[in-house]
Amino acid sequence: MSERDVSPPNMPFNLRPKLVVTVLVVVVLIALAASSFYVVDQTEQAVVLRFGRYLRTTGPGLQFKLPFGIDQNYNVRVQQVQREEFGFRTAVAGDQTVLSATQFPRESIMLTGDLNIIDVDWIIQYQIVDARAWLFNFESIPGGIGIQAMPPAGNTAADRRVKTIRDVTQSVMNALVGDRAIVDVIGAERIAIQVQAAERLNVIFQGYDLGVRVREIRLRNVVPPVGRVQAAFDDVNRAVQDFNRLINEGREEYNAEIPRADGQGRRLIEEAEGYRVNRVNTATGDIARFNNVLAEYRLDPRTTRTRLYIEMVEAVFADEDRVDLIDRNLQNFLPLLNIGGEGIVPGGQQ
């Protein structure tokens, strides 16, 4: 039997079986190489499934897997801190953050423990700490679908995970706000609500083994609903602020006056102590002087009495500008005194 050329007449080359086999082998090798390796970023972990069942979790770098879909990898961002917003949305993030004008009252409107309505906006920041649990366990929590095989691909599964986090967070926040009065939620209990919300969410997520850890809960805006309620509450807040301001002013005045009064008290005490010491020293000196005079008097009473008399007269008339002396019994003529001049004392004394 003779051979014949079966190639189409317009082909520029002859299609030989060996060439076909070579091309097929090259295509298979390329497909094998492309499906045998995958890259994991520094911020990610990869969960590898074999025939839809969990096999292993790999870290960053170039990794190997069985080709042709036998092994499949799902990269999960475990180093990135993610966030969800409640009651508002960020339209443009960056240095100049722009918020969306759309309101979300179904997320933010809550009832407080004293039956008041309050509008609470908050942010949750969380991080994936277990890639396997993140991919699988969200579908097996109570009330879920109950599937523990390969997770659904695409955005649907991711949306359900985020929705679960949002639902649990909103439930916890409603419970914490509902246990407190509106004044406490707006004022002193804000920090406590943030801390307790993060603790409760971590306990819930750990109990469900969801592979998520809450890093922070931050209350962004806590106000009464817009309208007459907010206007009335603003009046109450202003009254509270005035009350606190007056208290602070009173404490400031107290802190200023008490030290001043203490200083004045100590000064008076010191002055009294100085006066006491001076009086004691003066009395002690007077006693010593009297004893000395007494000793001299006992030695020569007449001379001492005369000297004491002269000293007393000098002390009595020490502040006088001019002194006119007359005799005791007024037996002599009164001296003739010139106006503005010196008096003439009988006996030649002036």
Paired sense of beta strands 109-111 and 81-86, if any: unpaired
- Is residue 272 a part of any domain in this protein? yes
Look up residue 125 and give its two tokens.
């920041």
CA-to-CA distance for 131 and 74, rounded, in angstroms? Answer: 9
Residues 167 and 70 in one domain: no
Residues 47 and 68 in one domain: yes
> In terms of pLDDT, which residue wins out, 348 or 28?
28
pLDDT digits (tens, 9 = 90+) for 170-228: 999 999 999 998 888 888 889 999 999 999 999 999 998 889 999 999 998 888 877 66
Q: At 7, phi and psi to the nearest 5?
A: -70, 145
Q: Which domain holds residue 350?
A: 320-350
For residue 280, the one-letter residue type is V
- Is residue 12 a part of any domain in this protein? no
Residues 206 and 112 in one domain: yes
Residues 244 and 219 in one domain: no
Look up residue 203 and give its two tokens.
């306990």
Residues 277 and 333 in one domain: no
- Is residue 8 a part of any domain in this protein? no
CA-to-CA distance for 172 and 193, rounded, in angstroms? Answer: 10
- Which residues on neighbouring strands pair with residue 219, listed in sequence order? 122
Band of residue 348 on the pLDDT scale cut at 50, 70, 90: very low
* pLDDT score of 3 more than 70: no
CA 19 to chain centre: 75
Domain ends where: 197, 226, 255? 226
- Is residue 233 a part of any domain in this protein? no
Number of residues written out for the chain: 350
For the chain, the distance separating the N- and C-terminal CA atoms, rounded to the nearest angstrom, is 185
- Is residue 299 a part of any domain in this protein? yes
- Is residue 141 a part of any domain in this protein? yes
* pLDDT score of 149 more than 60: no
Residues 87 and 56 in one domain: no
Domains contained in the chain, number: 4
**Contact by Cβ (8 Å): 60, 89:** no
Burial track 264-279 (b if 16+ CB lie within 10 A, e otherwise):
eeeeeeeeeeeeeeee
Residues 335 and 256 in one domain: no
Residue 212's H or E segment, with its range, is strand 212-223
Q: Give SS3 for 248.
A: helix
pLDDT digits (tens, 9 = 90+) for 83-133: 999 999 888 877 777 888 788 888 999 999 988 888 999 999 999 999 999
**Contact by Cβ (8 Å): 220, 121:** yes
- Which residues on neighbouring strands pair with residue 58, listed in sequence order? 46
Look up residue 341 and give its two tokens.
């001049």
Angle, CA of 216, 220 and 225, to the nearest 5°: 140
* Residue 316: how many other CB atoms lie within 10 Å: 10
* Residue 193: how many other CB atoms lie within 10 Å: 22
- Is residue 133 a part of any domain in this protein? yes
Residues 137 and 255 in one domain: no
Residue 52's H or E segment, with its range, is none
CA-to-CA distance for 20 and 9, rounded, in angstroms? Answer: 18
Residues 209 and 104 in one domain: yes
* pLDDT score of 261 more than 50: yes
For residue 215, what is the domain's CATH number? 3.30.479.30
